[in-house]
Structure 1
Amino acid sequence: MRIALLSYSTKPRGGVVHTLALAEALAAAGEDVTVWTLGRGGDDGFFRTVDPAVRLRVVPFPDGPPDETVGARILRSIATLRDAFDPTPYDIVHAQDCISANAAGRCVRTVHHLDHFTTPELAACHERAIVEPYAHICVSRSVADELSDGWGLKPAVIPNGVAYERFATTDPAARAAWRSRLGPYVLTVGGIEPRKGSLDLLEAYASLRTGHPGVRLVIAGGETLFDYRDYRARWETRAAELGVRPMVLGPVADEELPALVAAADAFAFPSLKEGFGLAAMEALAAGVPLVVRDLPVLREVFGPAARFGDSPQTLAAELGGALDSYDPARAEAGRELAARHTWTEAAAHHLAFYRALTP
């Protein structure tokens, strides 16, 4: 089967990580897979090495003018990918986000999570990418139910895989190097942005430091299409008001990320919107205590393997509990949960779904 997987970026965002891992698992199953994406900022490849069994098509996407708005950038992204992509060689065209779905034409769409945008061009992109694809996949039942309730759709549910061994068996020297550099720390991955609940985590960290003054908050990741400068400015102002100084690492090299995760004392995942929580599942694979936002989707995915908080105060309390008392039963439940989510199984379910769509 000839399969095209489309994404919007080469950067290490969750949907891009998903796209590459799925592509490699499909190729390992013997399928002919090509990943199409936009090469932003001069990128001519992805943030990590990709199995050579997967064909890559990185479409150049030069920076726009300094005054380019988010809406204009979205429209230019769609047009650039659409002009380069030819769907005719493929049996399945599968888009992983609203930009690539708008560019692809007739396609399968994975809806990782639903957003509510105020930028008109982005809101229209989001809506078209739900209503126009002819088939849909979600990575959790909670998001599938949102599509059913809001649009009358009946998506298939195929959970993410996780690179279990990569996070469960990290190099002790690499972990020690992060500990030496950072000391005790709570880690979050995903950058500083509204959807990630960054302001709530900042408030929680300030409360946490009352009983744990030596623990640092470390923030990794953060590449995104959107302009969150105003939110980042509010975050920095609030950090100064609270008298806290989190360590903001920005994007971390792919080969360094597993040890950074494994060396953490706890992993915080206070997102306001999620479809699955791949970064949090990676933390469980590493045996790191996990505290997440109390959302239905995260209850569905993580169950007894995580601690849950619904406010800065309860997030702080649960992080404090995770730091004060290691829970071996919860840690083992987390490892077992992560180990069950394999990309091999996810690829098999995708192939069954694709075959049901093709003559």
Structure 2
Amino acid sequence: MRILFALPGFHRYERGAEVALLSVADELAKLGESVTVIGAGEPREGVRYRYKKLGAARRERFERLPSIPGLRDETKWEDATFAANLAAKEDLSQYDVTVTCNFPFTNLALQRGRRKGPRNVFVTQNGDWPAFSNDSEYRLFNCDGLVCTNPSYLERNRDRWNCTLIPNGVDVARFTPASSAEKIACRERLKLPQQRPIVLMVSAFIRTKRVLDGIRAVAQHDGAHLVVAGDGPLRAEGDRLAAELLPNRFTRLSLQASEMPQLYRAADVFMHLSEFESFGNVYLEAWASGLPVVAHDFEVTRWIYGDTQYLCDTGDEAALEEKLRLALVAPVGKAPEGIDQFTWPEIANNYRNFFSQFAAVSEAK
């Protein structure tokens, strides 16, 4: 199969959608498929897929612009500039399947290729709202296949679209529990305190990720040090709040993807307070790293973890404080059981099976 993955954040950001789809692309190339990835970042060594760079304005330039239909946040402006280049410069007839998780602009740019042969697959990495809403620009949404990253999305969309349920995955060779010696070494490399329990959040500084609530929660636990790996429009507000509530107990950093496993190994507890995620790669990365996980109790986390982690209504301050207290005294480094179903080779094979129906249609044309 000839497969195209298109997203402006490819090779530019290490956020959940980019990490997930690039992992799938690399595994599919490993399986022998002809895979092309188009993004706005720089080429990388060591990848199996073919990479092409297209220009796109950086999303940070648009953080303070007002929200309007179609351009509701800074990522949509980035998407619009990328999609314009994609439509102008890429011949889509050379592919059997095109894949994105960006709406509206990249999705619409790929729709034009459907007349030339390739089928378009939309992945709900950033939510399924485009697939079921008929408001405003969402009425323009279309796809030949919809990859639902959680059971709720599948249930909501299965009667309207050609759907499949495929979660995200994790590289269990990279994300592994740390020994005591490894934890010390990782903290030393990252310049993190050795004598304090570390609570880790891997979250963008945006409202829905609730990093500021995480700062308030950790402030209730004397001695705990909060590390946040992420960036976003609320970074300055987060820094100010941490300076007030967590003096000398807060670290904000940005790391390359290659450095993330050692960050998990340096931690004692993982906390993620988003009240809803399409999936959340970080849930698996923390689990594979043997960390106790404090997270919001909703259908996705319950589907992933069952009753094995510290789930609660994280909007309830007392409940969150209690779960965090329990997690801080829980054993670290326990090898995860049941994570095999979420490995990238398994996930990529599911994508391959789903894409195969569209390759047959393309060849028939």
TM-score by length of 2: 0.80
**Distance of 2:295 and 2:101 partners within structure 1:** 24
Describe the shift of the 1:282–1:55 C-alpha distance in structure 2 as closer, same or farther (beyond 3 A): same
1:159 equivalenced with 2:167 (yes/no): yes
**Distance of 1:182 and 1:243 partners within structure 2:** 15
Q: Deviations over 1:147-185 (max 9, x none)?
A: 45xx84452101112101101166976632333432221
Deviation at 1:279, TM superposition (A): 1.3
What secondary structure, in the 3-state scheme, does the structure 1 residue paired with 2:4 have?
strand
The aligned residue for residue 19 of structure 2 is: 17
The aligned residue for residue 36 of structure 2 is: 34
The answer to whether the 8 Å contact 1:20/1:50 transfers is no
The answer to whether the 8 Å contact 1:189/1:220 transfers is yes
Give the number of equivalent residue pairs: 329
The match for 1:57 among 49, 52, 67 is: 52
Deviation at 1:258, TM superposition (A): 0.4
The match for 1:135 among 132, 145, 160 is: 145
1:186 equivalenced with 2:189 (yes/no): no
Give, as a single letter, the amino acid of the residue that structure 2 aligns with 1:198.
V
The answer to whether the 8 Å contact 1:2/1:31 transfers is yes
Stretch of structure 1 that moved more, 166-175 or 12-21: 166-175
The aligned residue for residue 104 of structure 1 is: 110
Give, as a single letter, the amino acid of the residue that structure 1 aligns with 2:148.
C
Describe the shift of the 1:272–1:50 C-alpha distance in structure 2 as closer, same or farther (beyond 3 A): farther
Deviation at 1:269, TM superposition (A): 1.2
The answer to whether the 8 Å contact 1:4/1:93 transfers is yes
1:219 equivalenced with 2:228 (yes/no): yes
Give, as a single letter, the amino acid of the residue that structure 1 aligns with 2:281.
L
**Distance of 1:350 and 1:218 partners within structure 2:** 34
Stretch of structure 1 that moved more, 192-201 or 166-175: 166-175
**Distance of 1:65 and 1:318 partners within structure 2:** 35
The answer to whether the 8 Å contact 2:275/2:296 transfers is yes
The aligned residue for residue 273 of structure 1 is: 276
The match for 1:326 among 331, 335, 348 is: 331
Q: Deviations over 1:167-208 (max 9, x none)?
A: 11669766323334322210011232112121221221122x
What secondary structure, in the 3-state scheme, does the structure 1 residue paired with 2:277 have?
coil
Describe the shift of the 1:63–1:109 C-alpha distance in structure 2 as closer, same or farther (beyond 3 A): closer
The aligned residue for residue 206 of structure 1 is: 219
The answer to whether the 8 Å contact 2:295/2:310 transfers is yes
Over the aligned positions, Cα root-mean-square deviation in angstroms equals 2.9
Deviation at 1:238, TM superposition (A): 3.8
Gaps of 5+ in 1: 118-122, 223-227
Describe the shift of the 1:45–1:170 C-alpha distance in structure 2 as closer, same or farther (beyond 3 A): farther
1:282 equivalenced with 2:292 (yes/no): no
Deviation at 1:108, TM superposition (A): 0.7
Q: Deviations over 1:36-70 (max 9, x none)?
A: 1123xxxx235xx442x310011122559967833
**Distance of 1:171 and 1:86 partners within structure 2:** 50
Describe the shift of the 1:217–1:156 C-alpha distance in structure 2 as closer, same or farther (beyond 3 A): same
What secondary structure, in the 3-state scheme, does the structure 2 residue paired with 1:205 have?
helix
**Distance of 1:170 and 1:306 partners within structure 2:** 18
Gaps of 5+ in 2: 66-73, 115-119
Deviation at 1:74, TM superposition (A): 4.2
**Distance of 1:162 and 1:63 partners within structure 2:** 27
Describe the shift of the 1:271–1:58 C-alpha distance in structure 2 as closer, same or farther (beyond 3 A): same
The aligned residue for residue 3 of structure 1 is: 3
Deviation at 1:135, TM superposition (A): 1.3
Runs of 4+ in 1 over 4 A off after TM superposition: 62-68, 71-74, 169-174, 243-246
Describe the shift of the 1:166–1:243 C-alpha distance in structure 2 as closer, same or farther (beyond 3 A): closer
What secondary structure, in the 3-state scheme, does the structure 2 residue paired with 1:349 have?
helix
Describe the shift of the 1:323–1:291 C-alpha distance in structure 2 as closer, same or farther (beyond 3 A): same
What secondary structure, in the 3-state scheme, does the structure 1 residue paired with 2:204 have?
coil
**Distance of 2:60 and 2:185 partners within structure 1:** 41
**Distance of 1:163 and 1:342 partners within structure 2:** 6
**Distance of 1:64 and 1:199 partners within structure 2:** 22
Give, as a single letter, the amino acid of the residue that structure 1 aligns with 2:340.
A
TM-score by length of 1: 0.81
The aligned residue for residue 95 of structure 1 is: 100
Q: Percent identity?
A: 28
Q: Deviations over 1:309-333 (max 9, x none)?
A: 21233222212101123288xx44x
Describe the shift of the 1:295–1:168 C-alpha distance in structure 2 as closer, same or farther (beyond 3 A): same
The aligned residue for residue 250 of structure 1 is: 253
The answer to whether the 8 Å contact 1:7/1:19 transfers is no
1:264 equivalenced with 2:267 (yes/no): yes
**Distance of 1:172 and 1:65 partners within structure 2:** 39
